[in-house]
Structure 1
Amino acid sequence: MANEYWLYSEAEVRREQVLAQLADLFDAEHTDFGLGRGESLAVTAWPVDSAERIEVARDAGVAEPKVGVLFRLRSVDTIETADRETREILDTVLALLRAYPADAVLQFDTKTVLRRADGQVVLNSDWPGWAEIPTLAAIVAGYRPVPWTDRPGHWSSDRDRRSPPVTATAGPRRRRRRTGRDRPDRGCPATRRPAGGGPQSGTRAADRP
């Protein structure tokens, strides 16, 4: 199954503008889906313009969603390649947040990866990828990983908001919690229903292009 990163933003920007910028950043080609690069990466964007899509984005922690972007990292040959392309996706997301500054949330499946709020980007330290993917160390060093509560888009405390950056350290990689980096792409995304209800991984019905 493909790894999917979902970005929801309050930026007033058209789908075509987002795809045009992403095409340059990824050196990708336009496709019927949106953008594609080889067999490994596909990207699409859409306006958040229906009640169902708005509900999905608000569940992710974006109060007034305007645009959504899906980054789909499909099966790759090695973990090293997956790590490199994951870094590229996150660098691209950060570039979009600089180009279109607005409140936004990036999720992997339904787990928050990072959030832009109050004019700053903060990483969710509870997302295991920050500690387990070595190519992300430079991003971790430049931002503030902060724990999340179980309510999307909320910091766990004011103390956590003031936490200093957590930098990655060298050493043996511990046994990874499941982040989906090395799940095979079987050609069609799965749909799972979480225990508490709501959207889960795979292509969400509300956002399927």
Structure 2
Amino acid sequence: MTENNPILPGFPEKESADLLRISNIKLVKKDEYFISEGQIPRKFAIVLSGSFRYYYVNEKGDEFTKGFILKNAILSAYSAMVQRSPSLFNIQALEPAQILEVNYQSWLQLRSSNGFWDRFLIRALEKGYFAKEKRERELLLLDAASRYQIFLSEFPGLDKKVKLHIIASYIGIQPESLSRIRKKLGN
């Protein structure tokens, strides 16, 4: 039986209640970090509203945006969380957001008691893997203008919410180059 739960739409009633029992709804301010580089993550979250970015910073202070996370997606520095090692990237709110924060150890206990959570994890990992594979292909084979157009189609309206340098770092170019592309496309 599926409950029409506004927090976790599509989750079965029992699993939704179990997850909510070990979770906290949390408000995140714009520019606040969910995970910071160097921090050992002990939590993950489901985005209920708002948007986030994953990004790296090199030794010169240059930022490289790895990805954007929107509503109903999972926020996690997964490898670091599983390996109990420091995160290599930051997860930052791009706007005010609401998340369902889950303690990883509590979730492991829940997962061991119900096979639903293994299936949930596999689907989440597959989704992440598919996105990573697609992004790698785009970065290796497509020009910057094509990557920008893909960004616009995959994240409608996000270009109006985030700074130009963040979009440029996601596309893999300098902000000046993105300005030229936007001008050429009439943006």
TM-score (norm 1): 0.26
Structure with max Cα Rg:
2
Name the structure with the higher helix share: 2
